[in-house]
């Protein structure tokens, strides 16, 4: 029985309807009502295919055929359902729906004991609690209950307070921790979230690595003064210094290679008044590269940019690194498994790429064999209501996933 492309598209449309912002893109913060509705939709669909589920202490959902016990070693596949504000319909959702479709197709094929589990990870995006991939990190143990307690949402609730109605439980986190020996590997289908595949007219690609991400919080402090009576030569303008750093990043990052990107996505200005020279500016820097050595080189260059901009304007500067996630190589053995699956399906040779975006796969890769498949994103648009991937491409990726886990 082939995978059902219309069913895949229907699930994505159904999940898209669960949003805080109808008509303005996805709005599914972790532990919100739309997030719960999306989660329950997947659980219900799997239940109709004869599957059972459980929810672990970190709030992640695990679904497998009812005849497959929870101690049976399985393939693990899935992604997330939470979204950025005003996001698209496919980010994360495709990975969950593809894994769900594998379970349904297996049931229709009579493979009721397929060792395969669909997972829905909680809080991948990081926009609800300020840090991403919390569900997967809590499950494997890189974040403990105390660390998750320190993270709060916009309502002032910590992870456990917000997650309690959804069965997140700090008391059980250690006992519920992932055991690597229980898993054959992790397989994540995801949209590319970049324009490369679309430009090259590629449908599905094999992801061989995930870029590392270093993040910073930078504060420049100058002197507030009157906007009308202070001459340009007498100013210590913190915002002008920040602007110089931002422009410098745009020029500097490409000198280190095509896979290096640097972004200032958040900026706070004080006193933030139209007729006062800015006294201080705090901004974030998100740095990504496909090799740790490149991240080190970029770090040195960014620190030099900040120092020069501050010295030029008589500012003081503080630069604090807030995150350091290394570049991750994915499983060569699983890559070969998917190449073989593509050959059996008479598909063209799978192109290869690396991921500029972080995924739960980056968290699991150091623990168990992990691989990703990318599906082409129209014009590279993502984290945007215009996000789109073709149904036939999504179905091809799902066929590959099914073939890879049903063959010895």
Residues 73 and 166 in one domain: yes
pLDDT at 307: 98
Same structural domain for residues 74 and 164? Answer: yes
Number of domains in the chain: 2
Q: What is the pLDDT of residue 408?
A: 73
The 10s digit of each residue's pLDDT in 326-385 is: 999 999 999 999 999 999 999 999 999 999 999 999 999 999 999 999 999 999 999 999
Give me the residues paired with residue 213 across strands. 288, 325
Contacts of 222 (CB under 8 A, 6+ apart): 235, 236, 237, 238, 241, 277, 278, 279, 280, 313, 314, 315
Q: Are residues 389 and 300 part of one domain? A: no
Looking at the fold, whether 33 and 117 belong to one and the same domain comes out as: yes
Do 116 and 33 share a structural domain? yes
* Final residue in a domain of this structure, among 308, 325, 342: 325
The CATH number given to whatever domain includes residue 35 is: 3.40.630.10
Do 386 and 269 have their domain in common?
no
Q: For the chain, which ranges sit under pLDDT 50?
A: none
CA dist 387 and 369 (Å) reads: 29
Of 325, 342, 372, the position where a domain reaches its end is 325
> What pLDDT is attached to residue 277?
98
Range of the domain at 75: 5-211+327-406
Regarding whether 13 and 156 lie in a shared domain, the answer is: yes
Residues 177 and 49 in one domain: yes
How far apart, in whole angstroms, are the C-alpha atoms of residue 273 and residue 19?
35
276 and 372: one domain? no
What is the Cα–Cα distance from 317 to 218, expressed in whole angstroms? 7
Of the residues 258, 290, 325, the one at which a domain ends: 325
| Domain shared by 18 and 140, yes or no | yes
Looking at the fold, whether 70 and 121 belong to one and the same domain comes out as yes
320 and 346 both lie in a single domain: no
Domain of 260: which CATH number?
3.30.70.360
Q: What is the pLDDT of residue 352?
A: 96
Q: What pLDDT is attached to residue 118?
A: 98
Question: Is residue 165 within 8 Å of residue 172, measured between CB atoms?
Answer: no
């Amino acid at each position: 029985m082939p995978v059902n492309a219309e069913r895949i598209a229907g699930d994505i449309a159904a999940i898209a309807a669960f949003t805080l912002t109808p008509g303005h893109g996805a709005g599914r913060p972790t532990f919100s009502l739309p997030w719960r509705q999306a989660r329950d939709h997947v659980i219900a669909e799997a239940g109709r295919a004869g599957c059972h589920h459980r929810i672990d202490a970190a709030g992640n959902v695990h679904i497998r055929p009812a005849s497959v016990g929870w101690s049976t070693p399985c393939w693990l596949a899935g992604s997330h359902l939470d979204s950025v504000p005003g996001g698209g319909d496919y980010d994360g959702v495709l990975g969950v729906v593809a894994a769900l479709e594998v379970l349904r197709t297996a049931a229709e094929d009579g493979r009721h004991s397929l060792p395969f589990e669909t997972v829905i990870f909680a809080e991948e995006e990081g926009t609800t609690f300020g840090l991403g991939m919390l569900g997967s990190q809590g499950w494997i143990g890189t974040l403990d209950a105390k660390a998750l307690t320190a993270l709060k949402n916009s309502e002032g609730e910590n992870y456990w307070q917000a997650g309690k109605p959804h069965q997140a439980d700090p008391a059980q986190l250690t006992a519920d921790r992932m055991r690597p020996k229980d898993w054959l590997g992790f397989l994540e289908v995801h949209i590319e979230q970049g324009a490369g595949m679309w430009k090259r007219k590629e449908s599905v690609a094999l992801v061989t690595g995930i870029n590392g991400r270093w993040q910073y919080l930078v504060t420049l402090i100058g002197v507030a003064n009157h906007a009308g009576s202070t001459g340009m030569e007498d100013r210590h303008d913190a915002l002008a210094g920040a602007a110089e750093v931002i422009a410098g990043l745009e020029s500097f990052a490409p000198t280190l290679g095509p896979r290096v990107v640097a972004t200032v996505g958040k900026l706070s200005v004080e006193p933030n008044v139209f007729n006062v020279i800015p006294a201080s500016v705090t901004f974030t820097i998100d740095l990504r590269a496909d090799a740790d050595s490149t991240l080190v080189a970029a770090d040195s260059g960014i620190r030099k940019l900040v120092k020069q901009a501050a010295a030029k304007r008589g500012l003081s500067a503080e630069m604090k690194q807030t995150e350091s996630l290394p570049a991750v190589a994915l499983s060569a053995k699983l890559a070969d498994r998917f190449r073989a699956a593509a050959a059996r399906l008479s598909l063209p040779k799978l192109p290869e790429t690396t991921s500029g975006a972080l995924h739960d796969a980056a968290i699991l890769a150091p623990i168990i064999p992990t691989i990703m498949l990318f599906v082409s994103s129209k014009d590279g648009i993502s984290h945007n209501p215009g996000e789109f991937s073709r149904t036939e491409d999504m179905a091809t990726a799902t066929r590959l996933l099914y073939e890879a886990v049903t063959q010895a």
